[in-house]
Structure 1
Amino acid sequence: MKELDIREVADLSGVKPSALRFYEKKRLIQPVGRNGLRRQYHENVLNTLQLITLGQAAGFSLEEIAAMLGSKGNIAIDRELLHQQSRKIDVTIRRLQLLSRGLKHAARCSQPVHTECEEFKKIVSRGLRLVR
């Protein structure tokens, strides 16, 4: 398996070297050694970095991601945690869709005062229920 130095990993992944060192401290990735002063990683670290990026985009903490990656690179996915997070994302999507509808309605509403518009009142009421 090919080894890459920290700069190559940063260039190929788009992850800054400082973030790579931080991920190392959090035990998300491990170098295989050094070439002079530069850390060396197996090229499969790029796959791990993709999983970390995906996990962060999905709202997982680095600790949760580390637990799912396992200590020796053996992925141990917590399916219940994935279901919980997907439900949170679904709620956020519904809230954002409602917010978008409200903004579009407010932009085209002919009422001189939005708080007098029955449709706007319904949208605001539904939005408040989703936020709680």
Structure 2
Amino acid sequence: MDISQVAKQSGVAASRLRYYEEKGLIHSNGRDGLKRVFPPGILERLALIALGQSAGFSLDEIAGMLGTDGVPEIDKAKLVEKADELDARIQRLSTMRDGLRHAAQCSAPSYLECPKFQRLMQHAAKADKKQRQSGLVSGQKKPVR
């Protein structure tokens, strides 16, 4: 299957496919004229990459799990660790959602006079402080230096 067919069937842009190949996530079989040609299992491999990204794994982490011989080498401990991270994030987001919904309906004269909104602000400030102390900026996998 050539790169344009893979892009069309997978919904992954050709430029991203070339980037994935550069990072070692996928491999082409060579070329047919000027177009890269990919092996039959490419769509499944791209689906694994998409699943990993949806779960919050970095491309480097995904590359380590995909293996070099086409057989995934998925570390179950890493899956459990990522699931635990997702649980913690879901809890934080649920707390934030509930607080915002409460604030939208709160009868206090101002948000700053609402005890629940005050707790929500304190919770957000603590989370922000903890994140900054760990050297991470929102959405990044590596410390900012």
TM over 0.5, shorter chain: yes
Q: Which residue pairs with 2:73 in the alignment?
A: 76
Aligned pairs for 1:1-132 (under 5 A) are 4-128=1-125, 132=130
Distance in structure 2 (CA, Å) of the matches to 1:118 and 1:81: 39
Higher relative contact order (CA 8 A, sep 6+): 1
Unaligned runs of 5+ in 1: none
Normalized per residue, the structure richer in strand is: 1
Amino acid at match of 2:54: A
What is the Cα-based RMSD across aligned positions, in Å?
1.5
Aligned length: 129
Between the aligned partners of 1:43 and 1:10, the Cα distance in structure 2 is 14
Q: Describe the SS at the equivalent of 2:19.
A: helix
Shift of 1:129: 5.1
Shift of 1:124: 3.8
1:121 to partner: Cα distance: 2.9
Q: Distance in 1 between matches of 2:103 and 2:83?
A: 30
How many Å apart are 1:33 and its aligned residue? 1.9
- Aligned residue identity for 2:30: G
Structure 1 length-normalised TM = 0.89
Q: Percent identity?
A: 44
Counterpart code for 2:98: R
What CA distance in whole angstroms lies between the structure 1 residues aligned with 2:53 and 2:3? 21
